[in-house]
Amino acid sequence: MGLAVGIVGLPNVGKSTLLNALTHAGAEASNYPFCTIEKNVGIATLHDPDLDKLAEILSPQEAIPASVQFVDIAGLVQGASKGEGLGNTFLGHIRDSDAILHVVRCFEDVNVVHAPGPPDPIRDVEIVETEFLLADLETAERAAAKWRKAGKGGRGVGVEEAAAFARAAEVLGAGTPIHAMSMSPRERDILTEARFLTAKPCLYVANTGEQDPKGEGALPRALRQAKGGERVLPVSVEIEEEVSELSPEEQQAFLEELGLEETALDLVVKGCYRLLDLVTFYTIANDKLRAWPLRRGSTAQQAAHKIHSDMAEGFIKAEVMTLGDLVRWGNRHALHEHGLIHVVGRDHEVHDKDVLQIHFKA
């Protein structure tokens, strides 16, 4: 399973256009609110030069890059958590996402509709994030009530759960997101299952318009100041949609002409990897070489689970090679001769660019 990213924002801020630029999904994108009334899903595969190197060395029949699934939901409006607009219907679609990509309009154009009035990135972000808080508050209150009811049967059932969700409701009611809540490891385990929206890492795409592709204007500057430069990605969504239709060579030339170094996809993927602290590992099996994202510090068994739960449950061992050793020695046979293929157990920490062959019983 690859990385899943939910695209959110107010109506008509460029979400569907961004999805098309990232994934060629063909989502409808028009200059009026609520153009999107169903969720749009697109898959982007990641350019990975290291995967290409490994494919040359290991000669698999197929080399499969890591992928990102982007889900664009209907624009959220004030009151969405209580049924206003269309976005409330789709809040659940983001609960399964690993991260949130919040698109914020950061350009002036009287010809492009913007429902709340003149673009104001701070106000616009607050509208959406308040709806996330209110939706999470409802989730926490409902869960706390459920566990309190379960506890009435005696035997201490649900006491910890009821307390954890009650405290989460108190924190959310005070306007604090779940990611900022201090909690014990046990509380964290309990609350993780609720998939709170305000617990998810978030990147902000400052849609800068065609006149400011580097995001040097006042509106993107204000967003960076409010949310931190590392979490704000300046992207001219309209330009990126044009770039996505070009060949790689034409893309590079066009970006250089604009003074840009990377496509929106590269910016978003690098931002998500940094935000989620991900590494890339590779598997070789059945003559297929494949790249996977994984949380830094994860074990070999957790890497196996990333591929399939059956592999994790039946995990026996993993043979591990490093990209550096394969590049240096040129083939797997040479690594065998030099003792550079390591047999490891389930608790072995997987490192960036490790190549794993996982052995398991069905």
So what's the pLDDT on residue 90? 62
Question: What whole-number distance in Å separates Cα of residue 39 and Cα of residue 5?
Answer: 13
Q: Which fold has domain 130-198?
A: DNA polymerase; domain 1 (1.10.150)
Give the count of beta carbons closer than 10 Å to the beta carbon of residue 153. Answer: 9
Which is more confident, 106 or 155? Answer: 106
Structural contact between residues 240 and 264, judged by C-beta atoms closer than 8 angstroms: yes
Q: Token match 């154009």: residue?
A: 109
d(CA 231, CA 275): 8
Whether 61 and 288 have beta carbons less than 8 Å apart is answered as yes
Helix (H, G, I), strand (E, B) or coil at 127: helix
Q: How far is CA 70 from CA 3, 49, 100, 311, in A?
A: 9, 22, 10, 26
pLDDT value at position 362? 82
What is the residue-averaged pLDDT of the chain? 88
The predicted-structure confidence for 72-82, as pLDDT tens digits, reads as follows 876 665 554 45
Q: Extract the tokens encoding 42.
A: 């697109």
Domain pair 3-47+65-115+200-275 / 130-198, same fold = no
Q: How confident is the model at residue 85 (pLDDT cuts 50, 70, 90)?
A: very low
Cβ neighbours of residue 26 closer than 8 Å, sequence gap 6 or more: 20
Q: pLDDT value at position 74? A: 66
- Partners of 8 in the β-ladder: 102
| Domain residue ranges in the chain | 3-47+65-115+200-275, 130-198, 278-360
Give the model's pLDDT for residue 96: 84
Is the Cβ–Cβ distance between 233 and 203 less than 8 Å?
yes
Query: For the domain 278-360, what is the CATH code?
Result: 3.10.20.30
Residue scoring higher pLDDT (317 or 240): 317
What is 3-47+65-115+200-275's CATH number? 3.40.50.300
Question: What strand order describes the sheet that includes 315-322?
Answer: 62-64, 288-295, 278-285, 354-360, 315-322, 342-344
Residue 226 predicted with pLDDT over 70: yes
pLDDT of residue 155: 64
Supply the DSSP string of 9-30, one letter for each residue.
Answer: -STTSSHHHHHHHHH-------
> pTM of the predicted model, to two decimals?
0.86
